[in-house]
Amino acid sequence: MTSDSAETTGVQHAHIGTAPAGLIDHPRGAEPGKPGDRGAFSFETITRLPDSADGKGRGGARYGRTGILHTPHGDIRTPAFVPVATQGAMKAVLPETMREAGAQCLLSNAFHLYERPGEEVLNEAGGLAHFMNWDGPTFTDSGGFQVLSLGAGFKKTLAMDVSGMKSDDVIAEGKERMAFVDEDGVTFKSPLNGSLHRFSAEISMRIQHNIGADIMFAFDELTTLMNTRGYQEESVERTFRWAQRCVAEHKRLTEERIGKPYQALYGVVQGANYEDLRRHAAEQIASLDFDGVGIGGAMEKRIIGDICAWICDAMPESRPRHVLGIAAVDDIFACVENGGDTFDCVAPARCGRNGAIFTRDGRYNVKRAEFKHDFRPLEEGCECYTCKDYSRAYVDHLLRAREFNGFTLATIHNEHFFIKLLDDIRASIDGGYFDEFRDATLARFYANGSRG
């Protein structure tokens, strides 16, 4: 599939009623009276990293690559960073601004959109992209993250250090369990009003089809690193059974939803830190008719690249790979080198709202006293909207005053930083200088012991 594939479908890009100008109302592969054309979604590899003696994949393989992810609502050049618009919106930032910041695609949370405004509203609006006035591809997660965040109560689950005791009943301090897993699915207690909601493989598929994103994920169970080995084994098998059900329901709904574009379905590989479980889960997911794979679950920072390589060992090259919830600079390099194509994380926006600013020279907090009279941009040489027009002193003032403009300006810069980082990594792979760029970038970023 090429970028000209819209012409081959016989469907023209058009606008209806009062639809905002620029939106694709008839995306690739959507024809009246027919199910979505699966051919509108594909992955095209451009450049592959050469294998090396220290490659983490089988035979020294390094699975890092550049490519083009073709979707009904447009193409994504990979590797790419996917900003998180949890509830169909980036907090304090308009979709148009995210496009200006360089974003190619956005990811939203199926559980939160199910709670409000509701899947029916999004379906009636013509899908997530149309609803939020985003002219480009979209992702939705499955609700699987809430199995952990509402269950054990942990919000940060990736690149963790394992130092605590093993427990299958672990709960974050000050939290109550609000997600209860059984063989058929999960019962959630709403964080909004305490009402109970049921998610299963079939329900997650229905919700995500109605939301209408280009790429969605199979329903899975996200465990913590503190769960016992026995529970991790049970969870991997349960996630596989749910994956089988997701594939079946996805095919049924695709045939039923006439005139809609095809939505790609990614299976999710779990297994925590265990190599044998990760390889086993990857082989299970690879055996099913998925369009791509999500590399999910809690994992230690020290082996994050290894885990990606274990999974890619089992995956067909034609399937794109999305790494869920990663936004530390060294983790991104490790995951790209070992096969990650797309990445999402809430950290850039969340950190920005709290004053943490990412730059090529590390991460700093703009609310420190030394920046009160600093009229330089957040990062010297940065081309983002914030850095071209506003100073550290002004952003510091806005954040201290809790003015929403401060959230906006800090978020724009941080999202641009990660979008540009992935753009530069992509250029380095195509240009044949990835190793040199990785080493120089990491040395500069962490020179002062910066986090992130």
Instruction: Give the domain ranges of the chain.
Output: 33-345, 350-452
CATH architecture of 33-345: Alpha-Beta Barrel (3.20)
340: nearest Cα among 368, 367, 361, 319: 319
Question: Would you say how long the chain is, in residues?
Answer: 452
User: Bridge partners of 198?
Assistant: 187
pLDDT truncated to tens, each residue of the chain (452 aa)?
333 333 333 333 333 334 455 565 669 999 999 999 999 999 999 999 999 999 999 999 999 999 999 999 999 999 999 999 999 999 999 999 999 999 999 999 999 999 999 999 999 999 999 999 999 999 999 876 566 555 444 554 433 444 454 566 665 566 676 778 889 988 878 888 888 889 899 999 999 999 999 999 999 988 888 888 998 999 999 999 999 999 999 999 999 999 999 999 999 999 999 999 999 999 999 999 999 999 988 889 999 999 999 999 999 999 999 999 998 999 999 999 999 999 999 999 999 999 999 999 999 999 999 999 999 999 999 999 999 999 999 999 999 999 999 999 999 999 999 999 999 999 999 999 999 999 999 999 999 876 66
- Known binder of ligand: residue 105? no
Q: What is the DSSP letter of 227?
A: S
Q: What is the rounded CA–CA span in Å between residue 63 and residue 146?
A: 30
Known catalytic membership, residue 182: no
User: Bridge partners of 294?
Assistant: 268, 322
pLDDT of residue 143: 72
- Known binder of ligand: residue 318? no
pLDDT of residue 25: 62
Q: Which candidate in 75, 306, 313, 344 is catalytic?
A: 344
Known catalytic membership, residue 361: no
- Known binder of ligand: residue 143? yes
- Known binder of ligand: residue 112? no
pLDDT of residue 21: 53
- Which stretches does DSSP call E strand in 119-241? 138-141, 158-160, 179-181, 185-189, 196-200, 215-217
pLDDT of residue 380: 97
pLDDT of residue 205: 97
The SS3 of residue 419 is: helix
Count CA atoms closer than 13 A to 27's CA, side-chain side.
31
pLDDT of residue 197: 86
pLDDT of residue 449: 78
pLDDT of residue 227: 82
Burial code (b: 16+ CB inside 10 Å, e: under 16) for 253-288 equals: bbeebeebbbbbbbbbbbbbbbeebbbbbbebbbee
Q: Which candidate in 75, 141, 291, 306 is catalytic?
A: 141
pLDDT of residue 3: 37
Q: What is the largest CA-CA distance in the chain?
A: 63
Q: What is the rounded CA–CA span in Å between residue 40 and residue 217?
A: 18
